[in-house]
Amino acid sequence: EPTPVTFLGLGNMGHALASTALAAGHPITVWNRTPSRTTGLAEQGATPAPTPAEAVAATDLTLVCLLTDETVAEVLAPVAESGALKGKTLVNVTNSTPEQARQRASWAQAQGATYLDGGIMAIPQLIGTPHSYIYYSGDEQAFTTHRPLLARFGDPRYVGTDPGLASLYDMALLTGMYGLFTGAAQALALIRSAGLPTTDFAEQLQQFLIGMTAAPAAWGKSLDADTHATAVSTIAVNHAALPNLLATHRDQGLPVDLLTGLQPLLDRAIAEGHATDGLSRLAELLTR
Ligand code: NDP
């Protein structure tokens, strides 16, 4: 029997989660600051609640998908005051830092609620498809109990009892993504600065980067084993080549601030005697 569930927040993501639960047969109660966002779901059988407190009181389980942790604090404050959180389970998939997630968990526990944090690795359009997964951390019992619902949204990946871990993994993946995006922006700027079209080049860039992703995929093992030997590309060869790359961008009159962090780290790797290591050594240096 699908569990009844409440949704607080029906933005793009909250709406995708709520409609997926509804389509899977879960009776749902919904609240959103702008009430018109509940209309479509109500027509399909959802129960709109006039306040967050009434929404939370309606079911044992509440899924929170708001803009920021500050928004969550603001929306849940009157719910806590009314005592409606006592005995309830909160699954909060709102974007936050690991520290915010830990504090939200402590706060929820102080209200008598059970807390599970989530980090969504998907866009709303992918919710409910095999291409979506969500990290969860915090109360393991809550995860196990509600796994059938959570699995509807995408592959549920429980990463530990520390409520900050889902956010930590989320942030780590996004860190990799931003490295890719900043590198790609700089690469396209270089081609464009030479007056060249970028359509075909961008496709070549994609193919090249897909091939390059094999390198960091192997670094995890190197770091865990603390051995950084390589037959691919040494610190020394990268250290020697990077100045040419920076000079090329400078010669084209481009800003290089997105690229300049790497040179001092390579300098340090050389200075500390790691010239023949592979680039996994850089991650080790950053944590030391
Ligand atoms: P939207 O901007 O579409 O929705 C934001 C939601 O927060 C709306 O329900 C909005 O209500 C509500 N809200 C904002 N401020 C307040 C406030 N002061 N009081 C009450 N409610 C408020 O964002 P998304 O749905 O895209 O994102 C929601 C969360 O999911 C974010 O934390 C986001 O980082 C995360 N996420 C989103 C992804 C995406 O691809 N969209 C991917 C992964 C995570 P109202 O309708 O009244 O404005």
User: Which residue's CA is minimally distant from atom 33 of ligand 1?
Assistant: 95
Distance 284 CA to ligand 1 centre (A): 36
Residue 288 confidence (pLDDT)? 92
Q: Atom of ligand 1 at shortest distance to CA of 95?
A: 32
- CA 285 – CA 288 distance, rounded (Å): 5
Residue closest by Cα to atom 34 of ligand 1: 95
Give the nearest ligand 1 atom to 34 CA: 47
Q: Please, are residues 66 and 94 in contact by the beta-carbon 8 Å criterion?
A: yes
Nearest CA to ligand 1 atom 30: 94
What is the 72 CA–ligand 1 centroid distance (Å)?
10
Q: Apex CA 62: angle with CA 56 and CA 64, to 5°?
A: 110
pLDDT number for residue 210: 97
From atom 11 of ligand 1, which residue's Cα is the shortest distance away?
33
List ligand 1's pocket residues with C-beta within 6 A: 9-14, 32-34, 37, 65-67, 71, 74-75, 94-95, 120, 123-124
Q: Which atom of ligand 1 is nearest to the CA of 9?
A: 9
pLDDT range class, residue 260, cuts 50, 70, 90: very high
The first and second tokens of residue 110, run together, are: 């102080």
Q: What is the share, in percent, of the chain residues with pLDDT greater than 70?
A: 100
Q: Whose CA is nearest to atom 16 of ligand 1?
A: 71
pLDDT of residue 32: 98
Q: Nearest 5°: phi and psi at 192?
A: -65, -35
> How many angstroms is it from 18 CA to the middle of ligand 1?
13
Sketch out the chain's domains with CATH numbers.
Answer: 5-161 (3.40.50.720), 169-286 (1.10.1040.10)
Residue pair 13/35 in contact (Cβ under 8 Å)? The answer is: no
Looking from the CA of residue 70, the nearest atom of ligand 1 is: 18
Side by side, the strands of the sheet bearing 133-138 are: 47-48, 28-31, 5-8, 61-64, 89-92, 114-121, 133-138, 155-158
Over range 163-168, report the average pLDDT. 98
Q: Which residue in this structure is represented by tokens 């919710």? A: 127
Quote the CA–CA distance of 146 and 235 in Å, as a whole number.
47
What spacing in Å lies between the alpha carbon of 163 and ligand 1's midpoint? 21
pLDDT bin (cut points 50, 70, 90) of residue 206 is very high
Nearest CA to ligand 1 atom 44: 120
Task: Note the pLDDT of residue 42.
Answer: 98
* Reported confidence tier of residue 70, pLDDT bands at 50, 70, 90: very high
Nearest Cα neighbor of 95 from 202, 161, 33, 11 is 11
What residue owns the CA closest to ligand 1's atom 10? 11
Residues 19-45 have a mean pLDDT of 98
CA-wise closest residue to 166 among 202, 142, 189: 142
CA dihedral 213, 160, 91, 115 (to 10 degrees): -150
> What pTM was computed for the model?
0.94
Kindly indicate the confidence band of residue 253, based on its pLDDT and cuts at 50, 70 and 90: very high
How far apart are the CA of 95 and the centre of ligand 1, in A? 9
Query: CA Rg, the chain, in Å?
Result: 24
Atom 46 of ligand 1, residue of closest alpha carbon: 34
| Mean pLDDT value across residues 27-44 | 98
The ipTM of this complex is 0.99
Mutation choice for ligand 1 from 10, 13, 74, 127, CB with most ligand atoms inside 8 A: 13
List residues bridging with 48 in a β-sheet.
30
